[in-house]
Amino acid sequence: MINSEYLKKLNNSQKEAVLYLNGPLLIVAGAGSGKTKVLTSRIAHIIKEKKAYPNQILAVTFTNKAASEMRNRVSSILSKEAVGLSWLGTFHSISAKLLRKHAKAVGLNSNFSIIDQDDQTRLIKNICKAENIDIKKISPNFILAIIDKWKNKGWYPEDVILKKKDILEKGFLKIYKIYQSKLIDLNTCDFGDLILHCVKIFEKNPDIAELYSKSFKYILVDEYQDTNHIQSRWLSCLTNQYNNICCVGDDDQSIYSWRGAEIKNFLDFDKKYKDTKIIRLEENYRSTQNILTVASKLIENNKNRVGKNLYTNSTDGELVSLECFRNGKDEAMGVSDKIEKLKKNYSLNNIAILVRAIFQTREFEERFLKIGLPYRIIGGIKFYERAEIKDCTSYLRLIYQSKDDLAFERIVNTPKRSIGDTTIKQINDYAKKNSLSLELAAKKLIELNLIKPKTKIGLSSFLNMVSKWRNDLTIKKMNHVKLMQMIIDESGYSSMLKNKKDLENENRLENIKELLNAMKEFDNLESFLEHVSLATSIDQKWDGEKVNLMTMHGSKGLEFDVVFLPGWEEGLFPHQKTIDEKGQEGLEEERRLAYVGITRAKCIAIISFSMNRFYQGDWIDSMASRFLDELPEKNLLKNSYFDEDQINNEEEFDFNQDFEAQETMRSPGWIRYQKKLK
């Protein structure tokens, strides 16, 4: 039995992890070391060796996709469908199942509903309205993020501990109390409640906890480094009887503290579970040795880690490239040049650019659009399709062209000006009936006094601002970048984003600053708007292979033949905000993020930084990231593209010239696009 085929496919460490079935086990699984194979083989082995029935195995993942993959792999090993694995799923799906059986213990009925994000937001809005809290100043999503943080820590309203500095959160606690009470009244719960309620049931009802603890002979947890406090408590409640808990993860890939993940769950596993066996999976099946060495030497600078040494039986491969550019624009050109050469040997689908912040994609997108290199944004939206960018460009479009009804409709009530759907329909109907633009129709309705008083104030204010901005552009000949900045401020758009203090709106502000950077590359508003239109039209026609652009956070779990890692500069990476907020812990998480980025590469990894970068409206002299000093010299190939002659001496492509904005229509990207249409 021990010589089963699935065991023959495992290396010694993997086999040891599968066969160790008595007591707590922590599997420290390095990047690309086959952790999913180990987990699924372990489940299959438990069933094959009759150590437990399928319904006595609790296997927990973070995503439905991971759960489905695990189930399929187990079925493949057993050569039959893995029936009976009724407790294989996500933390939330399993908790929902448990909660339905014992809902009354927390004041719910078994037929409770689970509300989604939209319903949560609506409920918070209603509570804020009743409590006279201005949601224009405090985003409901920000309040929900704080409530979710408390639930991740295992706190009901009565458990919340506030520090003196948490003045803002003091007001949120009252909302949390009302919110939680409303959920119970409505016989519903949010995703945070699913785990929180289960823990409460287990801790307040030892008999129920014992029932499930006896039911689950083996517990397996994937991506354990991403667990939060309440998930750790949830697991503890279920391990008292057999103590056969096996957690798999990589502390060096713990990059989600902003979502509540606590790395100490992983680091303190052997303290929490006595007689823990630790097995390290150190053989990597993904990357070359040079890539692994660079990643390993970097992460060794972190103090809070279990530790491991990744190696591969594959070749050393190419040295990791370290490249320096004059500025972000040159960096984008350098990367595109390299991709054009690499695509002879590698599919574009297997080439990725991993950035620290999403606004960084803009310069790459601009370059790729110019030369006609197809790309996709993974886990996000392309720059000119982002809501805040479309809002800003809609303001500009309406000012430039008063008959742009689509632009008018998009921004007439953005930010909120008490102009609802009914009023917009009224304007549309009047415009259609009288063959007018929406802007003219709105003016006529105000003149005829057919708009409600409150709405009239907001609509008049909007129309007056548009007229003023149009005058600034056409009469005063105001620079289009300055005009955009004025619009953002005077419209209230900037205040809207700043007041709603959450990560999403911070990213939107960064994107708008990047939009202003983009506009400076064009001589006038006309050429910029033409560029935006052209960019989206080319983009819509692309199919087939595409270069992948994404954040480093979004790349976790993925792999590519070639990985570009641009923007390794102080302040950007490691990100200054993270260091300011979390100090040394934040720096270590940023370093783990760098480790994740490097280990996505199978064959080629290229790290780059710029000497200057246009950031937040100003040119800044960039300092190379401190992480670069931590990379091993012997595994690096250093290149510098400061010298124009050096670039020109290299093999050139016709489409790698830097075209001026006014030449967009004749750019190689446009030529490629036209050829594609023929």
| 243: helix, strand or coil | coil
> Which one of 193, 223, 250, 282 is the catalytic residue?
223
Rounded to the nearest 10°, the torsion over CA 584, 586, 587, 588 is 90
CA 74/CA 81 separation, integer angstroms: 8
Which residue is listed with tokens 């904005």? 661
Residue 223 CB partners (closer than 8 Å, separation 6+): 61, 62, 66, 248, 249
> Which one of 15, 37, 382, 600 is the catalytic residue?
600
Residue by residue, DSSP assigns 276-330 as -EEEEE-B-SSS-HHHHHHHHHHHTT-SSS-----B-SS---SPEEEEEESSHHH
In angstroms, the Cα distances linking 312 to 222, 286, 551 are 23, 8, 26
Residue 338 and residue 606 in contact, taking contact as beta carbons nearer than 8 Å: yes
Q: Establish whether 222 is a catalytic residue.
A: yes
SS3 of the chain: helix, strand, coil, percent, to 5: 55, 15, 30
Residue 480 and residue 525 in contact, taking contact as beta carbons nearer than 8 Å: yes
Q: Establish whether 600 is a catalytic residue.
A: yes
Residue 451 and residue 445 in contact, taking contact as beta carbons nearer than 8 Å: yes
Residue by residue, DSSP assigns 319-361 as PEEEEEESSHHHHHHHHHHHHHHHTTTS-GGGEEEEESSGGGH
CA 384/CA 366 separation, integer angstroms: 10
Residue 190 CB partners (closer than 8 Å, separation 6+): 114, 115, 120, 183
Residue 529 CB partners (closer than 8 Å, separation 6+): 393, 396, 397, 400
User: How buried is 111 (Cβ within 10 angstroms: 0-12 exposed, 13-18 middle, 19+ buried)?
Assistant: exposed
Strands 601-610 and 320-325 turn out to be parallel
Q: Establish whether 621 is a catalytic residue.
A: no
Task: Give me the half-sphere count of Cα atoms (radius 13 Å) on the Cβ side of residue 361.
Answer: 25
Q: Which helix (H) or strand (E) holds 58?
A: strand 57-61
The sign of the CA dihedral 394, 397, 399, 403 is negative
| 90: helix, strand or coil | strand
> Which one of 35, 42, 338, 417 is the catalytic residue?
35
| Tokens at 12, concatenated | 């010694």
Among residues 8, 33, 31, 32, which one has the least CA distance to residue 19? 8
Q: What is the DSSP letter of 138?
A: S
Q: Establish whether 253 is a catalytic residue.
A: yes
The one-letter amino acid code at 151 reads K
Catalytic residues: 35-36, 222-223, 253, 600
